[in-house]
Structure 1
Amino acid sequence: MRLLLVDDARLYAEPLADRLRGEERISTVDTASDPAQAEREIAAGPVDVALVNAAMGLAMVRLLSGTHRIRTVALGVTESEAEVLALVEAGVRGYLPRDGSFADLLTVLDHVGRDELLCPPRIAAALGRRLAALAARLPPAAPSVPLTPRELEVLGLLTEGLSNKDVARVLSIEIRTAKNHVHNILDKLGVNSRGEAAALARHLTGPVSPPLRAA
């Protein structure tokens, strides 16, 4: 397993990387302190799991889990409902609370390897409520919302966390065209944000995010 540890606090990142390198199941641990360095490490070879300090923000999570489609684990999470919901919507496959131990991190990696999201019952319930709230906002004719074939393609890319710029690049269209498609999708689905559209799409078409497992 090749890991990429993304953290701008080298004082903490380097000792953690060294300790992870001592684990038999882990073949390589590379480190990055900013998006540009992370891009270079990803370009050097496939990354199985990315570990990212949650303090580096959702944009970094989206870069790893969305743009590069790497299974991503957030470290140092406060475990507030709002933070966990935002991280899951951004694409994380697992997280380690601030008070989590090294053994806990290895357990999270095991669950991520099985495409499971390990979390306490309180957080699992919050995630369930979030999905239910999104589903409840859907118009009665939701299953037949008339998205065009192109809008369905764009929606699929939104579920992967891609930005408008990335959507335009993948589909070979202008950025303003991608923005128009996203605007139309939000209108037709009756949601207010890209994250809500992506979560709703996952709910309607089947689980793209890892299944929940209470800790």
Structure 2
Amino acid sequence: MIEYEGTPLRVLVVDDIRLFRDHVLDILGAQPFVERAAGAADAEAALRAVAEHGFRVVLVSLATRDSLAVCRRLVAACADTRVIALGVSGGDDEVVACAEAGVTGYLLRDESSEGLLRVVAAAGRGEVTCPPPVAAALMRRMGQRGRAPGGPAGESRLTTREREILGLIDEGMSNKEIARKLNIEIRTVKNHVHNLLEKLEVSRRGEAAALVRGVRRRAQAPGW
């Protein structure tokens, strides 16, 4: 049983293979923390569904045609919606592309139904889900950039305020929510976010949070 406290979730599944989409919907529909589960075959249908019904979590199968473009459009149009990538192989290029598209959760190809529900519940709590293979791929890419001339400054060069804001991003807060919590102007938050993304050499908030969390976990692991 997946533990979840909070408002029941509305979850949308985007996949152009109906058989797979319906199977995932059956799993979600049986959960007490899912208020509504629906499907869409493409970006246009997904955007309409989110706009009309307020889906809070959207699962996008990477097997769907133009799946990364679908993720980018959803993230750009629906700031409060959490986008999860389904069927992630764990390859470096794919993982980084997902992060750059704004994905905040990853479900590996060999994950179970229970794993699917854990990721959905985490997204509902505003958490960024980053399995070890995904974190490793992001760290490898970060390391490659760090070894290049003029590589990223990294977390060590973030200011105290930038670290604070990065932590709030990791908790799933929007710029408006961060501004309210810290009692500062939203444009100030945007400036800090812009600066920390440049220092970490990433283009998306979710990627920055996932990178730093992965580094911290590796640093805390036995034998690291």
TM over 0.5: yes
The structure-2 alpha-carbon separation of the partners of 1:137 and 1:61, relative to structure 1 and needing over 3 Å to count, comes to same
CA distance in 1, matches of 2:145, 2:105: 22
CA distance in 2, matches of 1:84, 1:40: 27
> Is the Cα–Cα contact under 8 Å of residues 78 and 98 in structure 1 kept in the other structure?
yes
Task: List gaps (5 residues or longer) in structure 1.
Answer: 144-159, 161-184, 190-195
CA distance in 2, matches of 1:133, 1:95: 22
> Is the Cα–Cα contact under 8 Å of residues 116 and 210 in structure 1 kept in the other structure?
no
1:71 to 82, 95, 98: 82
> Is 1:11 matched up with 2:19?
yes
CA distance in 2, matches of 1:209, 1:32: 30
The aligned counterpart of 1:59 is 69
The structure-2 alpha-carbon separation of the partners of 1:124 and 1:88, relative to structure 1 and needing over 3 Å to count, comes to same
The structure-2 alpha-carbon separation of the partners of 1:85 and 1:197, relative to structure 1 and needing over 3 Å to count, comes to closer
Pairwise CA distance, 1:37: 1.0
> Is 1:87 matched up with 2:91?
no
The structure-2 alpha-carbon separation of the partners of 1:119 and 1:16, relative to structure 1 and needing over 3 Å to count, comes to same
1:37-48 mapped onto 2 (5 Å cutoff):
37-48=45-56
Task: List gaps (5 residues or longer) in structure 2.
Answer: 1-8, 158-173, 175-193, 219-224
Q: TM-score, normalised by structure 2?
A: 0.60
Moved more, 76-85 or 124-133: 124-133
The aligned counterpart of 2:137 is 126
Letter in 2 for 1:34: D
1:188-207 mapped onto 2 (5 Å cutoff):
198-199=203-204, 207=209
CA distance in 2, matches of 1:98, 1:134: 27
Pairwise CA distance, 1:44: 0.8
SS of residue in 2 equivalent to 1:198: coil
> Is 1:116 matched up with 2:133?
no
Question: Aligned-pair RMSD on alpha carbons?
Answer: 3.4
The aligned counterpart of 1:181 is none
Matched pairs, number = 161
The structure-2 alpha-carbon separation of the partners of 1:81 and 1:133, relative to structure 1 and needing over 3 Å to count, comes to closer
The structure-2 alpha-carbon separation of the partners of 1:67 and 1:210, relative to structure 1 and needing over 3 Å to count, comes to farther
Letter in 1 for 2:14: V
Letter in 2 for 1:11: L
CA distance in 2, matches of 1:93, 1:16: 19
Pairwise CA distance, 1:90: 1.1
> Is the Cα–Cα contact under 8 Å of residues 4 and 51 in structure 1 kept in the other structure?
yes
The structure-2 alpha-carbon separation of the partners of 1:64 and 1:209, relative to structure 1 and needing over 3 Å to count, comes to farther
Q: TM-score, normalised by structure 1?
A: 0.62
> Is the Cα–Cα contact under 8 Å of residues 91 and 209 in structure 1 kept in the other structure?
no
SS of residue in 2 equivalent to 1:82: helix
CA distance in 1, matches of 2:142, 2:15: 30
